[in-house]
């Protein structure tokens, strides 16, 4: 290894890892080799250091030695493979046995996260530590997840952990605002929309879905009008009426925003499918919506379904069919789905 | 990015919208431009070249796969606790290609997995590690894929059952390992293993349905834990597990269908979550979810009728409609269903088997040719192996799930689960045809049948 400029040989010696077999404090331990057998498949060409650390780990694990040196060894082992859930588990057993102050453990996890934050084991460990620390860990955990999310706003583990923290330790007060902030930066962030739903349905400070519906509908419609191609906001709007289809069908704001988008003749796929879903739930579109839909039909569709003479159920059926036909054309990747939806509209005998 | 030209009258929305593209938009456009570049190139070349480009690089994939069985570099140290997964990804891919490796290598695999088997039940990520439900799933599926008496007999089912029971939680979920994490993945891997090995019982199934149901989100898909975002991997896991325990009718299936089909985008492949990027592995997770849903039309229809105000097909009142699963795919559980003469308690043991044998031809709900196009043109590495997307490196995980997804597409219209499809349904040369799979377990069908005979012999 080339020496860095300005470093003495002694300093270099310190930076190089001392093998466990050369450390006097480990002289009493016989390392335990891996039982791979003579002809293992998927054999990994471990480095010498890796083999050594794991051989010593196996020895203390089998002996169930819960000591400070074993704790330090787990940290070394996790540097090599942070996915080794057995090492994480044993580390937890040691932390408990030695009654180690867990505040420093949070720091340990944070340093591990810097290396690779997409690791189930590390997040599970974090959750375990936070649970043990209780409410005092709350703000640390909210800050930690916020930090991760500032780098990757859709980080699945971070969001799961954050949700667990809110439910187990609290901290709901600012969460809706946090979602709003994230959505201001990226209105397409579906994780933030999901979190929004989580907050409005579960926060003890808000009134629950029903109570929040009015303000959330306004918020969502504004988002839809800004970017009608954004699937997240459409799904969220639908979600606001979960369990109350009649309210959804009867809310004029829903059909109204659809009409608005339909009239622009751009990015109207979700507006159309929403009308379709509404009709299937009993909605009877008025003339303005029907006209807006008909205006979207291309010439080859005009041959079917002359809506004007029909009324009531048959008229709704025709409009629904028209929507499916239009979608088959303008949303071709989902052609099979729209064909199936159309087939579901036909009453059988 | 001006919105004024769109007839926008709500000025405050335009003011609130940032003037530059968001991270989501930017990332999406980058991927789209790479993918469309490939498709545009494809569109311009003559038919012979097209066929070549669409060809599944069987030999190169085989080489990549068999090499992995024999040797992995030190960079794989981070997968040292996932070695049964490596086995499954590789052996399953080889089986999908209709190939096999030499007997010695197979024997070595059986022996190796046996060393991962814990004396108290379950398989660990490597010899000497703690047993883990996911690696148990991977090990069991590998052994079934290898097939044969020695392989199947090496699984200690009694001990495995004990392990699963210990991992079982009161809330219905399962821990992945002793004091490990609980999520929908754990539910699926546990139930799948128990089902295929014929050790599934009421104790294991207790409350699983409640837990998974609580993970279905407002979007329609399923998340990893209650409250988590709907995600392709967990959606497949949740749906498959619900089918296996006979409670799939409890999910809001029309909503689920709607969410999944919208995960296929203009790139032709599937994304894992709304507004995220396409990834080859979702060819199986999402494609597989749709493949499962296609077999549930009778139940889905009942649910749609139940909520429909005007298009009722039968005289079903709203309250009754949804839970009345009288299709042959819905089976009895805890006497919730009425009318069948058979004993309800043993029905769930045959769900996996009946699922594949009571097959009816149904039109797929997703665009199967488009997905094949993505897999063959964008996910294949010409030198062997398959990947997430262009620009990403190949790996064994993506090879496994891209090929599994490809197989699903090829057989999606078939009248019988293993009858060969018509050539026009297989994109590229007909030699691209893979082996059919059982979509609930992601096992090559032939191997599944052999395992079923072996493990269900007594009953």
Displacement of CA B429 from its chain's centroid (Å): 25
Coil vs helix vs strand at B33: helix
Mean predicted lDDT score pLDDT of chain A: 91
Q: Residue B264: closest CA among chain A residues belongs to which residue?
A: A333
Average pLDDT over residues B303-326: 47
Return the ∠ at Cα B95 (arms to B87 and B349), rounded to 5°.
Answer: 85
- A217 neighbors A251 (Cβ within 8 angstroms): yes
Rounded CA gap, A281 and B201, in Å? 39
Contacts of B71 in chain A (CB under 8 A): 43, 45
In degrees to the nearest 10, what's the CA dihedral of A204, A206, A208, A209?
A: -140
Please list the active-site residues of A.
118
Contacts of A348 in chain B (CB under 8 A): 313
Average pLDDT over residues A59-85: 97
Higher pLDDT, residue A53 or A316: A53
Question: Phi, psi (5° rounding) for residue B245?
Answer: -100, 5
Residue (of B294, B302, B293, B359) closest to B328 by Cα position: B359
Tell me the per-residue pLDDT of B11-43, one tens digit each, with 9 for 90 and over. 555 555 556 899 999 999 999 999 999 999 999
Average pLDDT over residues A105-131: 89
ipTM over 0.90: yes
Kindly report which listed range (A4-8, B141-145, B429-433) carries the lowest average pLDDT score. Answer: A4-8
- B280 neighbors B359 (Cβ within 8 angstroms): no
Q: Evaluate if residue A19 carries a pLDDT over 80.
A: yes
Average pLDDT over residues B46-61: 97
Higher pLDDT, residue A26 or A348: A26
Q: What pLDDT is recorded for position A310?
A: 66
Please say whether the dihedral angle defined by the alpha carbons of residues B221, B225, B228 and B231, taken in this order, is positive or negative.
negative
Q: Could you tell me where the DSSP H helices lie in chain A?
A: 9-15, 48-63, 68-80, 85-97, 103-115, 120-133, 138-151, 156-169, 175-185, 190-202, 209-226, 231-239, 245-250, 252-264, 269-280, 287-294, 312-330, 335-345
Return the ∠ at Cα B348 (arms to B164 and B220), rounded to 5°.
Answer: 85
Give residue for tokens 């995600």: B231
What the block records as the tokens of B251 is 């999910």
Reported as type and span, the H/E element at residue B437 is strand B437-438
Higher pLDDT, residue B234 or A110: B234
Residue (of B328, B289, B311) closest to B442 by Cα position: B289
Residue (of A62, A151, A311) closest to B23 by Cα position: A151
Tell me the per-residue pLDDT of A251-296, one tens digit each, with 9 for 90 and over. 999 999 999 999 999 999 999 999 999 999 999 999 999 999 999 9
CB contact under 8 A, B24 and A189: yes
Q: List, in order, residues 6 or more apart from A149 with CB less than 8 Å away.
A: A155, A158, A159, A162, A182
Q: What pLDDT is recorded for position B6?
A: 42
Q: What pLDDT is recorded for position B4?
A: 39
Q: What pLDDT is recorded for position A119?
A: 86
- A87 neighbors A74 (Cβ within 8 angstroms): yes
- B43 neighbors B23 (Cβ within 8 angstroms): no
Of B68, B108, B312, the CB nearest to A40: B108
Rounded CA gap, A74 and A90, in Å? 8
Residue (of A219, A313, A212, A225) closest to A270 by Cα position: A225
Q: List, in order, residues 6 or more apart from B271 with CB less than 8 Å away.
A: B232, B263, B264, B265, B277, B278, B279, B282, B286
What the block records as the tokens of B292 is 């499962």
Q: Does A205 touch chain B (CB under 8 A)?
A: no
Q: What is the CA radius of gyration of chain A?
A: 30
Q: Does A181 touch chain B (CB under 8 A)?
A: no
Tell me the per-residue pLDDT of B84-132, one tens digit each, with 9 for 90 and over. 999 999 999 999 999 999 999 999 999 999 999 999 999 999 999 999 9
Contacts of A230 in chain B (CB under 8 A): 275
Contacts of B108 in chain A (CB under 8 A): 37, 39-41
Residue B149 C-alpha, separation from nearest chain A C-alpha, in angstroms: 20
Please list the active-site residues of B.
231, 273, 276, 279, 281-282, 388, 395, 398
Tell me the per-residue pLDDT of B352-400, one tens digit each, with 9 for 90 and over. 999 988 876 678 999 999 999 999 999 999 999 999 999 999 999 999 9
% pLDDT > 70, chain B: 86
Banded pLDDT at B314 (limits 50, 70, 90): very low
Q: List, in order, residues 6 or more apart from B130 with CB less than 8 Å away.
A: A85, A86, A89, B118, B124, B177, B178
Q: Evaluate if residue A132 carries a pLDDT over 90.
A: yes
Residue A281 C-alpha, separation from nearest chain B C-alpha, in angstroms: 5
Q: What pLDDT is recorded for position B362?
A: 74
Higher pLDDT, residue A272 or A114: A272
% pLDDT > 90, chain A: 83
Displacement of CA B73 from its chain's centroid (Å): 28
Q: Evaluate if residue A61 carries a pLDDT over 80.
A: yes
Q: Evaluate if residue B224 carries a pLDDT over 90.
A: yes
For the entire predicted model, the pTM comes to: 0.92
Rounded CA gap, B85 and B93, in Å? 12
Residue B146 C-alpha, separation from nearest chain A C-alpha, in angstroms: 13
DSSP B271: B
Q: What pLDDT is recorded for position B305?
A: 82
Q: What pLDDT is recorded for position B126?
A: 98
Q: What pLDDT is recorded for position B347?
A: 78
Average pLDDT over residues A60-78: 97
Mean predicted lDDT score pLDDT of chain B: 89
Of A42, A128, A236, the CB nearest to B68: A42
Tell me the per-residue pLDDT of B315-329, one tens digit each, with 9 for 90 and over. 333 323 333 333 333
> Can you point out the beta strands (E) in B297-425?
none
Q: What pLDDT is recorded for position B13?
A: 52
Task: Count CB pairs under 8 A between chains A and B.
Answer: 248
Rounded CA gap, B229 and B221, in Å? 8
Q: List, in order, residues 6 or more apart from B296 with CB less than 8 Å away.
A: B243, B248, B253, B327, B329
- B404 neighbors B96 (Cβ within 8 angstroms): yes
Q: Evaluate if residue B247 carries a pLDDT over 70.
A: yes
DSSP A22: G
- Residue A315: count other Cβ atoms within 10 Å of its Cβ: 17
Q: List, in order, residues 6 or more apart from B45 with CB less than 8 Å away.
A: B53
Average pLDDT over residues A201-219: 96
Q: List, in order, residues 6 or more apart from A165 with CB less than 8 Å away.
A: A130, A137, A138, A141, A142, A145, A171
Contacts 24+ apart (CB under 8 A), A159-162: A159/A191, A159/A194, A159/A195, A159/B228, A159/B229, A160/A123, A160/B224, A160/B225, A160/B228, A161/A123, A161/A126, A161/A127, A162/A195
- Best B14, B134, B181, B371 residue to mutate vs chain A (most A CBs within 10 Å): B181
Q: What pLDDT is recorded for position B204?
A: 97
What the block records as the tokens of B123 is 């398989």
Q: What is the CA radius of gyration of chain B?
A: 23
Q: What pLDDT is recorded for position A313?
A: 78
A71-110 residues touching B, CB cutoff 8 A? 80-86, 89, 92
Rounded CA gap, A156 and B231, in Å? 9
CB contact under 8 A, B77 and A46: yes
Kindly report which listed range (A106-120, A164-178, B28-42, B281-295) carries the lowest average pLDDT score. Answer: A106-120
CB contact under 8 A, A187 and B17: yes
Rounded CA gap, B181 and B199, in Å? 23
Q: What pLDDT is recorded for position A10?
A: 55
């Amino acid at each position: 290894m080339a020496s860095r400029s300005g470093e003495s040989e002694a300093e270099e010696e310190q930076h190089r890892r001392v093998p466990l077999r050369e450390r006097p404090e480990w002289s009493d331990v016989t390392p335990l080799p891996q039982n791979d057998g003579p002809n293992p498949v998927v054999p990994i060409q471990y480095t010498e250091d890796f083999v050594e650390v794991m051989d010593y780990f196996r020895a203390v694990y089998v002996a169930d030695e819960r000591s400070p040196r074993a704790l330090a060894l787990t940290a070394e082992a996790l540097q090599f493979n942070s996915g080794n859930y057995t090492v994480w588990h044993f580390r937890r057993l040691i932390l408990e046995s030695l009654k180690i102050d867990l505040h420093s453990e949070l720091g340990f996890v944070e340093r591990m996260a810097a290396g690779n934050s997409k690791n189930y084991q590390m997040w599970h460990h974090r959750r375990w530590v936070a649970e043990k620390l209780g409410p005092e860990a709350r703000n640390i955990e909210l800050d930690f997840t916020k930090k991760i999310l500032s780098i990757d706003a859709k980080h699945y583990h971070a969001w799961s952990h954050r949700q667990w923290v809110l439910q187990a330790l609290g901290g709901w007060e600012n969460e809706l605002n946090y979602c709003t902030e994230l959505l201001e930066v990226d209105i397409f962030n579906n994780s933030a929309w999901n979190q929004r739903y989580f907050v409005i349905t579960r926060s003890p400070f808000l009134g629950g879905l029903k109570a929040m519906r009015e303000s959330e509908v306004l918020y969502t419609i504004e988002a839809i009008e800004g970017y009608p191609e954004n699937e997240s906001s459409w799904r969220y709007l639908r979600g606001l009426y979960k369990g109350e289809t009649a309210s959804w069908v009867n809310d004029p704001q829903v059909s109204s925003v659809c009409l608005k988008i339909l009239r622009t003749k751009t990015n109207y796929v979700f507006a159309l499918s929403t009308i379709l879903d509404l009709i299937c739930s009993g909605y009877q579109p008025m003339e303005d919506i029907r006209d807006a839909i008909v205006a979207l039909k291309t010439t080859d569709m005009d041959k079917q379904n002359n809506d004007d003479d029909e009324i009531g159920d048959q008229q709704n059926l025709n409009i629904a069919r028209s929507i499916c036909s239009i979608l088959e054309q303008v949303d071709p990747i989902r052609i099979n789905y729209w064909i199936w939806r159309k087939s579901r509209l036909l009453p059988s005998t | 990015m001006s919105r004024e030209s769109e007839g926008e009258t709500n000025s405050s929305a335009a003011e609130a919208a940032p003037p530059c593209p968001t991270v989501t938009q930017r990332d999406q456009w980058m991927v789209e431009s790479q993918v469309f570049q490939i498709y545009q190139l494809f569109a311009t070349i003559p038919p012979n070249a097209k066929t070549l480009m669409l060809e599944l690089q069987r030999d190169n994939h085989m080489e990549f796969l068999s090499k992995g069985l024999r040797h992995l570099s030190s960079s794989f140290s981070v997968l040292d606790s996932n070695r049964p997964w490596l086995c499954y990804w590789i052996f399953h891919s080889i089986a999908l290609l209709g190939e096999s490796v030499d007997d010695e290598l197979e024997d070595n695999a059986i022996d190796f997995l046996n060393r991962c088997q814990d004396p108290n039940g379950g398989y660990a990520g490597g010899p000497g590690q703690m047993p883990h439900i996911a690696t148990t799933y991977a090990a069991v599926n590998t052994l079934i894929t290898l097939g044969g008496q020695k392989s199947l007999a090496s699984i200690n089912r009694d001990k495995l059952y004990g392990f699963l029971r210990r991992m079982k939680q009161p809330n219905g979920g399962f821990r992945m390992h002793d004091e490990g994490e609980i999520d929908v993945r754990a539910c699926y891997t546990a139930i799948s293993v128990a089902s295929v090995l014929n050790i599934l019982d009421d104790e294991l199934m207790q409350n699983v349905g409640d837990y998974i149901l609580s993970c279905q989100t407002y979007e329609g898909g399923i998340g990893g834990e209650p409250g988590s975002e709907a995600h392709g991997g967990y959606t497949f896991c949740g749906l498959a597990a619900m089918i296996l325990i006979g409670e799939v009718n409890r999910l809001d299936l029309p909503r689920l269908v709607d969410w999944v089909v919208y995960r296929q985008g203009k790139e032709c492949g599937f994304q894992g979550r709304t507004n995220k990027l396409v990834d080859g592995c979702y060819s199986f997770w999402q494609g597989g979810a749709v493949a499962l849903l296609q077999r549930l039309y009778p139940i889905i229809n009942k649910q749609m009728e139940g909520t429909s105000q005007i298009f009722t097909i039968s005289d079903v009142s709203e309250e009754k409609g949804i839970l009345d699963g009288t299709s042959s795919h819905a089976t009895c559980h805890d006497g919730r269903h009425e009318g069948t003469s058979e004993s309800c308690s043993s029905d769930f043991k045959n769900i996996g088997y009946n699922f594949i044998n009571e097959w009816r031809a149904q039109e797929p709900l997703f665009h199967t040719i488009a997905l094949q196009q993505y897999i063959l043109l964008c996910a294949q590495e010409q030198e062997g192996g398959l990947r997430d997307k262009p620009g990403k490196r190949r790996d064994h995980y993506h090879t496994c799930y891209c090929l599994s997804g490809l197989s699903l597409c090829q057989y999606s219209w078939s009248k019988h689960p293993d009858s060969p499809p018509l050539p026009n349904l297989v994109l590229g040369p007909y030699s691209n045809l893979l082996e059919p799979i059982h979509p609930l377990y992601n096992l090559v069908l032939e191997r599944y049948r052999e395992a079923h005979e072996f493990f269900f012999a007594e009953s």
